[in-house]
Amino acid sequence: MADLLRLLLRVAEKAANVARLCRQEAPLFQLLVQEKTGEDKNKKFVQDFKTLADVVIQEMIRHDVRVQFPEMAGFIHGEESNMFENGLGESVTVTVCSTEEETAKLLATVLDGDQTAASLLARAIHQDPATIEVSTDSLTVPLKPSELGIWIDPIDATSQYIKGREEVLEEGRLFPSGLHCALVLIGVYLRSTGEPVMGVINQPFNNKDPADRGWRGKHYWGVSCGSINICSESRPRNRSEGQRGLSMVLSSSEKQAVKEALTSVCGPDKLVYASGAGYKILCVIQGLADAYVLSEGSTFKWDSCAPHALLRALGGGVVDLAMSLQQSDSGAQDPSTELTYHLPRTDRKGAERWANHGGLVAYRDSSQLRSIIGALKGKL
């Protein structure tokens, strides 16, 4: 498990490099933002570039995991399909090749022959990232790669990544929107039960280096398996909720009925809004909010798997909201309400097979979860 964690941290760092590169390098940046200009053909091509950045990152992660852990090959899933159509309507399957030159050649076919952009991307894909120092020596989890599967969200909150707004806030405040909300998410689950057992999150745009004004990233990780619970973040202290009420982070598109029901357990001004499903769970991990409530089935397994593993390592979790609301008020939360990651919904098609249909609640503290479920019962 320590080997897998080290690999995922490295590959997530490479993914963050690609994400930063696409915004830093003029030939790539132009492709990313020139959305509404140019000819029709061009327009389509440029819109597709956003997806290409996602696909390239996902395939790079898939490639690197496969090379080191071939037994995981059939169990590395992601948000994107690697079938890609270029501006001329040609279908190309994007894969990462064994050499930088081959990858550049393949990418050039998707990028309609743009060699500069293709070479820049290929270099980032094949470059070794800076070494990440984590002490994983004590990590002797009795799990074999052949028992595990992976969910990849190459860039969560893509719309914030494209818009690229740079918010400046005091330390310890959550970012309602902007580049900070864009995250690389890699979650590992147990094939037999679907439990999330390891998560790596990389935030490519965490802070700016005062010397060169370039963005620096930050990574977070957690492992939760039986009695082994280790997280890069320490468990934030719970504030005395009796006096101040809980704080909750929601999607800006959350239903009015949910907001109203939550005011009974939230302190004044304690309902806050942020972009990105992964980022909202990260806010709960960091203690910037006590919980994230979502009443719609608008998130997917790739959004929640990685941050779910970190929350479990901190003693919390992510439950299916609809299922939790159906439970009797017998006190303890039924563990079967926790989201799992191994089974698709057979009655749905495409991405919907992997949606978290019942909505969700991400929490750190199970007694707080009970208050939240209590407040929402009968109100939705």
CB 29 within 8 A of CB 22: yes
Shortest separation between residue 339's beta carbon and Ca ion, angstroms: 15
Q: Is 48 annotated to bind ligand?
A: no
Asked whether position 276 contacts ligand 2IP by CB under 6 A, the answer is yes
> Which member of 195, 241, 303, 365 is catalytic?
303
Q: b/e for 111-143, b at 16 or more Cβ within 10 A?
A: beebeebbbbbbebbbeeeeeeeeebeebebeb
Q: How far is the CB of 42 from Ca ion (least distance, A)?
A: 27
Residue 303: active-site member: yes
Helix (H, G, I), strand (E, B) or coil at 211: coil
- 303 lies in the site for Ca ion, by CB under 5 A: yes
Both tokens assigned to 361 = 């609640």
Residue 54 known to be catalytic: yes
Catalytic residue status for 158: yes
Q: What does 299 interact with, of Ca ion, ligand 2IP, none (CB < 5 to 8 A by kind)?
A: ligand 2IP
Examine residue 157 and tell whether it contacts ligand 2IP (CB under 6 A). yes
> Between helices 115-126 and 26-33, what is the axis angle to 10°?
110
From the CB of 147, what's the least distance to ligand 2IP, in Å? 27
- Least distance in Å: CB of 306 to ligand 2IP? 12
> Helix H segments across 164-296?
241-244, 256-262, 277-286
Task: Give the list of residues 6+ apart from residue 338 with CB closer than 8 angstroms, or none.
Answer: 195, 317, 318, 319, 320
Phi, psi of 305 (to 5 degrees): -60, -55
Minimum CB–partner distance for residue 377 and ligand 2IP (Å) = 23
When asked if residue 337 is in the footprint of ligand 2IP (CB under 6 A), the reply is no
Has 153 been labeled as part of a binding site?
yes
Name the DSSP letter for residue 209. -
Does 253 help bind ligand 2IP (rule: CB under 6 A)? yes
79 is in an annotated binding site: yes
Among Ca ion, ligand 2IP, none, what does residue 241 contact (CB within 5–8 Å per kind)? none
- With contact defined as beta carbons under 8 Å apart, do 92 and 48 qualify? no
Whose CA is closest to 201, among 22, 3, 13, 54? 13
CB atoms within 10 A of CB 164: 14
User: Among residues 298 and 327, whose Cβ is nearest to ligand 2IP?
Assistant: 298
- How big is the site for Ca ion, counted in residues (CB under 5 A)? 3
Which spans of this chain sit near ligand 2IP (rule: CB under 6 A)?
Answer: 79, 153, 156-158, 251, 253, 275-277, 298-300, 303
The annotation places the binding site for Mg(2+) at 79, 153, 155-156, 303
Q: Which sequence positions are flagged as catalytic?
A: 54, 79, 153, 155-156, 158, 303
Which spans of this chain sit near Ca ion (rule: CB under 5 A)?
Answer: 153, 156, 303
